[in-house]
Structure 1
Amino acid sequence: MLMATNEPVPVDGDRRDMSDAEAAALYRLMTWLSPSFPVGAFSYSSGIEWSVEAGDITDAAALRDWLDAMLGDGSGFCDAVFLAQAHRAASEQDISALREIAELAAAFVPSRERQLETSTQGRAFIDIARAAWPCDGLDGLVAACGGDTVYPVAVGIVSAAHGVPLAPALHAFLHAVVSNWISAGARLVPLGQTDSQRILASLEADVAATARRALESSLDDLGSATFRADLASLRHETQYTRLFRS
């Protein structure tokens, strides 16, 4: 006779718990790319503030379309490629390649404020991760980059140094970037929490597609076509009333 029980019935995916290394990787990714991780992401809008002021973004649908373009055809894709390439170079201890990737990534941003945004977050990410999670070899990778290390390169080398696999690191990074864009848009349009989550849900497949494309791309595939977003980033520098630093 079957007996009622409160114990969950295992399915195939439940039969094996995560290894210690997998659990550690997941824990660190959830921490490092959480909105509460203190890299100052809340201070930046990546030009969205000017786009709202100019009337390009007026509601949830317009914000969703804008972010979809930034993700797949703009800085989202480019940053994902830089993260993937930096992670691979760091994993292989290819110091020469890592330096070239870091220099190109730093030169690839379209405006002074975007440079401030990505370099400040990159520096904070490395400093805080290094202080809380000491890791052999990380100092050498950071030194190899020279100068300021932009945010996607920072995430790439820290993840590689800790043995965090590239694919989940890349997906988590893109989720964090999109979430911050939505948070900025929600405060500026403004939008409610439900609309914000609807936008995030609607971009799920686009995040996955961008991650897959970045994993298959080389530095030769870099490029963007989000001219209006780039102009927004440039024009934000002289915007009179501002809540954000970019």
Structure 2
Amino acid sequence: MLHALPALLHLASPQLPVGGFSYSQGLEAAIDCGWVKDAGSAEAWIGAHFDAGMACWELPTLALMHRAALAADTRALRALNEDFIASRDTAELRAETQQMGWSLIALLAGWTRAAPVLQALAPAFGGLNGPRPVHPVSFPCAFAVAGAALDAPTDGLLSAYAFAWVENQVAAAIKAVPLGQAAGQGILLGAHERIATAVAQALQMPAEDRHTTTPQVSILSARHETQYSRLFRS
């Protein structure tokens, strides 16, 4: 884990390397509607979004993707990737996961240690180390491939992914509500136990039990496409 930790933190960062900072996943639209207006409502929104989407869908799907990538099971990985993209039910959310996924794959193509994994998994997507692959690659799928290339433990991979998501939501709230840095840090501190619990559950969750129920996010994401003034791309 120690050798993989710096690389995981690098890849998971919402600031670099794949541009997660430019997306809010509906939070900016929630602010525009007045649903999120202070630290308390921001923490409630982020927590509810995490529980309804990240904890019971993204994290268990990422765990399955990582196991498939480690086993070079191209059929399973492609099916999971297609499932995840299908769950992104607005144009902005689909564009987000595909842009970040391809950006991460392009970054991995420059890592010598990632070459064997990319070569083994290339048939699932119609190429991974040249021009843009035939089949879109979602961000969690690309992150799973990165984890396999790093030989990272699944629990560490999920923890880094989940914390980066919460951190990015908090950063978006600090900019757009706006919130102070102390309020943002308070939300992050409060998320530690939630993340640890969600990771533990995701590692044990059967594939058929995965689900996501985020209709408010979907509605707000669709509204965001025509929002007059915005800082973020989703």
* TM-score clears 0.5: yes
Distance 1:66 1:133 in 2: 40
Q: Is the Cα contact below 8 Å between 2:14 and 2:165 reproduced in 1? A: no
Q: Is the Cα contact below 8 Å between 1:85 and 1:218 reproduced in 2? A: no
Alignment partner, residue 223 of structure 1 = 211
For 2:110, what is the secondary structure of its paired residue?
helix
Distance 2:192 2:93 in 1: 25
Task: Look up the equivalent residue of 1:225 and give its one-letter code.
Answer: T
In our comparison, the structure showing a higher alpha carbon Rg is 1
The answer for unaligned runs of 5 or more in structure 1 is 1-21
The yes-or-no answer on 1:52 pairing with 2:31 is yes
Distance 1:75 1:231 in 2: 17
**1:84 pairs with one of 57, 63, 71:** 63
Report deviation, 1:222. Answer: 2.0
Q: TM-score, normalised by structure 1?
A: 0.86
**1:131 pairs with one of 75, 86, 110:** 110
Report deviation, 1:232. Answer: 0.9
Q: Structure 1 residues 133 and 26, CA, compared in 2 at 3 Å: closer, same or farther?
A: farther
Report deviation, 1:43. Answer: 0.8
The answer for unaligned runs of 5 or more in structure 2 is 127-134
Matches within 5 A, 1:189-204: 189-204=177-192
Distance 1:127 1:89 in 2: 20
Q: More deviation in 142-151 or 91-100?
A: 142-151
Report deviation, 1:142. Answer: 4.2
Q: Structure 1 residues 240 and 75, CA, compared in 2 at 3 Å: closer, same or farther?
A: farther
The yes-or-no answer on 1:100 pairing with 2:79 is yes
Percent identity, aligned pairs only, is 34
Distance 1:192 1:73 in 2: 26
The yes-or-no answer on 1:66 pairing with 2:54 is no
Distance 1:207 1:228 in 2: 22
* Aligned residues between the structures: 225
